[in-house]
Amino acid sequence: MEAKNTISQMRRGILEFCIVSLLAKQEIYTAELIDSLKSADLIVTDGTLYPLLNRLQKAKLLQYRWEESDSGPPRKYYSLTENGEGYLGELNKAWQDITGSVENILRGNKSE
């Protein structure tokens, strides 16, 4: 109800982190990416993913190659570039910082 918008907000940015993490493990194309995210209970549509992947690719964090399919048009298989690996490191650290901050707040570790 009230929380819906905020909860999708919570997922922003985290989504990119998850995608980069998944791509660090294996080459993957968009539909598979959506399935992987869905099995981790992060719902996304392709209208969200394509712009995001293009953005990361233009930033040289991702690369892709075309691969033909047995059952339809060719697919773009994405993977991390070397820059992307470093970027993943930054995101990992940021994620740990954020979960740490949230835990501090929930536990009430205030400096007063």
Q: Residue 47 touches which of a second copy, DNA, none (CB < 5 to 8 A by kind)?
A: DNA
The answer to whether the beta carbons of residues 53 and 27 sit under 8 Å apart is no
Q: Any contact of residue 26 with DNA (CB under 7 A)?
A: no
Q: Any contact of residue 52 with DNA (CB under 7 A)?
A: yes
Report in angstroms how near the CB of residue 109 gets to DNA at its nearest: 21
Indicate which single residue of 2, 3, 73, 107 sits in contact with DNA (rule: CB under 7 A): 73
Alpha-carbon distance 28 to 112, whole Å? 49
Alpha-carbon distance 39 to 26, whole Å? 16
